[in-house]
Amino acid sequence: MMDKMIFGRYVPAESPMHRLDPRAKLLMVFIFVFIIFLANNIATYVVIGAFTLLILNMSKIPAGFLIGGLRPVFYLILFTFFLHLFFTKEGDLLFKWNFIEVYENGLRQGIFISLRFAFLILITSILTLTTTPISITDGLETLFNPLKKWKLPVHELALMMSISLRFIPTLMEETDKIMKAQAARGTEFSTGPIKNRIKAIVPLLIPLFVSSFKRAEELATAMESRGYRGGEGRTKYRLLKWESKDTILLAAIMVLTVLLLLLRS
Amino acid sequence: MQINLTNVEHKYQKDTPFERLALREVNIDIPSGTYLAIIGHTGSGKSTLLQHLNGLLKPTKGSVHIGEYTLAAGKKEKNLRAIRKKVGIVFQFPEHQLFEETVLKDICFGPMNFGVSEKEAIMLAKESLHKVGLSEDILDKSPFDLSGGQMRRVAIAGVLAMKPEVLVLDEPTAGLDPGGRKEIMDLFYDIHKETKISTILVTHSMEDAASYADEIVIMHKGTVYETGSPREIFSQSDQLVSLGLDVPNTVRMQLMIEQQCGRKLDQICLTMDELSEQIESLLKRGVPK
């Protein structure tokens, strides 16, 4: 069931995207999330679409896998599309059937917003697909380091994040295990009436909570017994190295920003 | 209930970059009433194999016949529930599946899912609680207040209460102390003898495989390496060692004795009693100097 899930998952491979510094990728995604809102006509969407495709191509993630993984979001995109299609009442009337009216702007908006959605999800997925959770947190910690001046517990936040990322696969595995154990005792998770399926969540969630609490306690003990005292004076095993290709990525996103500003109407 | 696996192949996460072949060309016949032990190195496909026995996993090629039901690659089987009622699985660390407020409710969970009335479920719960050697006064306790060993027994009772016709055990004694281990294994053996249900045990313990099983399957790299009676299997100690497995303690002792006095015992000894008998007869005949 979760075999095809791609969110938060890392696919080990050798690709230009994999080799980039996590800080560069994080900044790129951060800027991308903002500038995607600059796109508002065909030219700008073509430019930003080309950029997205370029990044996807550079990541060497099989397209079939990406598309398969996006299936759950696909319905959300479809829903957004129809929402805009039916409820934007501007421009020329294109189509009318009973109470359904489709206007030109509605169609445009629908397509644009769906594309925006898809691009955003693809670019953010590429970040997690090509960067190990550890590098993402390392990158975030360094990027947020200046905020320490304002007493923001940057190291602790990064630690919390890396711990939760680290335990996502463990939790998934355990979910799978307990689901199977309860299915063997006659629980049906994917068939039968909705009411029963909702009820089936209890025998799954309770054991998961119990074991998560237990694991958290064990982890805390293990960390303490290995002398963990927090981030003060702690050195790093993996050092991040900023190279020229990272600067090129940032330059590329800057160029994209300028292009969007010039082309937008 | 008879179980046949024909050319079973299983690929995890098929058609993704994570695709992994876990089973290939597995052929096993388990006649009704057999006590079968599956042994193999970690990662040899044992756990994947046992999940095929009640439709938790479906073969990506080949087919699994469970009694009158068939699970085949690419076909949808609607009677999964019926299969699961007949094949009970005790997973590794079964205490992790406990969730109800009381022990009674937790044991009744399985039977009631399969349509048994509450009254009957309570009777089944009490019966299986006795079978696993616990007293009725814990019925109203929360399963989370019990000791580890008791939790394991309650979880096992929860599976036994479903009255399965085939009992599948995935290392049921992992993490228990030696005393508890023997008690649990004896308990499954008694149930097997009494009710004639097929029992399939996945284990790392060569001693358990030797002393309880009628038939042993060795899994290696996702496929069946060899099938045979315990005596056949454990008489090939070199082969077992080359697979990263071992022989039971009694066999190891026997091999040492045989090497020391340069004489073969009459048969491979699977239990302590057999071994002591053999040593006795050897001594009676006189050890050559």
Residue-wise pLDDT for B236-247, tens only, equals: 888 888 888 888
Q: Are residues B68 and B185 in the same domain?
A: yes
Q: Are residues B157 and B281 in the same domain?
A: no
Check if B143 contacts A (Cβ < 8 Å). Answer: no
Q: Are residues B10 and B34 in the same domain?
A: yes
Range of the domain at A96: 16-168+241-263
Q: How far is A32 from chain B (nearest CA, A)?
A: 27
Amino acid type, B180: G
Q: What is the pLDDT of residue B121?
A: 94
Instruction: Give the model's confidence band at A34: pLDDT under 50 very low, under 70 low, under 90 confident, else very high.
Output: very high
Rounded to the nearest 10 degrees, the angle between the axes of helix B148-160 and helix B103-113 is 30
In a domain, A44, yes or no: yes
The whole-number average pLDDT for the span A134-159 is 87
Q: What is the pLDDT of residue A6?
A: 65
| CB B120 within 8 Å of CB B111 | yes
The whole-number average pLDDT for the span A106-130 is 89
Per-position DSSP letters for chain B, written without gaps between them? --EEEEEEEEEETTTSTT-EEEEEEEEEEE-TT-EEEEEE-TTSSHHHHHHTTTTSS--SEEEEEETTEEEETT---TTHHHHHHHEEEE-SSGGGG--SSSHHHHHHHHHHHTT--HHHHHHHHHHHHHHTT--GGGTTS-GGGS-HHHHHHHHHHHHHTT--SEEEEESTTTT--HHHHHHHHHHHHHHHHHH--EEEEE-S-HHHHHHH-SEEEEEETTEEEEEE-HHHHHT-HHHHHHTT----HHHHHHHHHHHHHT---SS---SHHHHHHHHHHHHHH----
Task: Collect all residues of chain A within an 8 Å Cβ-Cβ radius of residue B12.
Answer: 3
Per mean pLDDT, which range of A94-103, A211-220, B268-277 is the poorest? A94-103
Q: Are residues B96 and B234 in the same domain?
A: yes
The whole-number average pLDDT for the span B71-92 is 86
Range of the domain at B260: 248-289
What is the rounded CA–CA span in Å between residue A4 and residue A178?
A: 19
Asked if the model's pLDDT at residue B172 lies above 70, the reply is yes
User: Of B76, B53, B7, which is closest to residue B223 (Cα–Cα)?
Assistant: B7
B257 in the Ramachandran plot: left (φ > 0), alpha (ψ -120 to 50) or beta? alpha
What is the rounded CA–CA span in Å between residue B176 and residue B149?
A: 7
Q: What is the pLDDT of residue A1?
A: 42
In a domain, A232, yes or no: no
In a domain, A41, yes or no: yes
Asked if the model's pLDDT at residue B141 lies above 90, the reply is yes
What's the pTM value of the predicted model, to 2 decimals? 0.76
Q: Are residues B31 and B161 in the same domain?
A: yes
| Cβ contact, residue pair A182, B94, below 8 Å | no
Instruction: Give the model's confidence band at B214: pLDDT under 50 very low, under 70 low, under 90 confident, else very high.
Output: very high
Q: What is the pLDDT of residue A166?
A: 80
What is the rounded CA–CA span in Å between residue B146 and residue B152?
A: 9
Per mean pLDDT, which range of A63-67, A169-173, B19-23, B228-232 is the poorest? A63-67
> Closest partner residue to A65 among B17, B54, B158, by Cβ?
B17
Asked if the model's pLDDT at residue B32 lies above 70, the reply is yes
Q: What is the pLDDT of residue B287?
A: 61
How many structural domains are present in chain B? 2
Q: What is the pLDDT of residue B138?
A: 92
Q: Are residues B195 and B253 in the same domain?
A: no
Per mean pLDDT, which range of A113-117, A206-210, B282-286 is the poorest? B282-286
Q: How far is A154 from chain B (nearest CA, A)?
A: 34
Task: Collect all residues of chain A within an 8 Å Cβ-Cβ radius of residue B113.
Answer: 185-187
In a domain, A226, yes or no: no
Q: Are residues B278 and B148 in the same domain?
A: no
The whole-number average pLDDT for the span A85-100 is 78
What CATH number is given to the structural domain containing B183? 3.40.50.300
Q: What is the pLDDT of residue A194?
A: 83
Q: Which pLDDT tens digit goes with each residue over A226-255?
A: 988 877 778 888 888 898 999 999 999 999
* 3-class SS of residue A260: helix
In a domain, A36, yes or no: yes
| Cβ contact, residue pair A185, B162, below 8 Å | yes
| Cβ contact, residue pair A186, B114, below 8 Å | yes
Q: What is the pLDDT of residue A187?
A: 86
Q: Are residues B224 and B258 in the same domain?
A: no
Q: Are residues B171 and B269 in the same domain?
A: no
Q: Are residues B72 and B83 in the same domain?
A: yes
Which runs of E-coded beta strand occur in chain A? 93-97, 100-103
Q: What is the pLDDT of residue A256?
A: 93
Q: Which among B15, B83, B96 is the top mutation candidate for probing chain A, defined by the most A β-carbons within 10 Å of its own β-carbon?
A: B96
User: Which residues of A sit within 8 Å Cβ distance of B?
Assistant: 3-4, 11, 13, 61-62, 64-65, 68, 174, 177-178, 180-188, 202-203, 206-207, 210-211
Bigger pLDDT: A189 vs B152: B152
In a domain, A160, yes or no: yes
In a domain, A3, yes or no: no
Instruction: Give the model's confidence band at A7: pLDDT under 50 very low, under 70 low, under 90 confident, else very high.
Output: low
The ipTM, to two decimals, is 0.87
Q: How far is B220 from chain A (nearest CA, A)?
A: 23
Q: Are residues B164 and B270 in the same domain?
A: no
If you search the block for the tokens 């947190």, which residue do you land on? Answer: A137
In B, minimum Cα distance to A206 occurs at B99
Q: Are residues B173 and B273 in the same domain?
A: no
How many structural domains are present in chain A? 1
| Cβ contact, residue pair A211, B96, below 8 Å | yes
Look over chain B and give the mean of its residue pLDDT values, rounded to a whole number.
90
The whole-number average pLDDT for the span B168-196 is 91
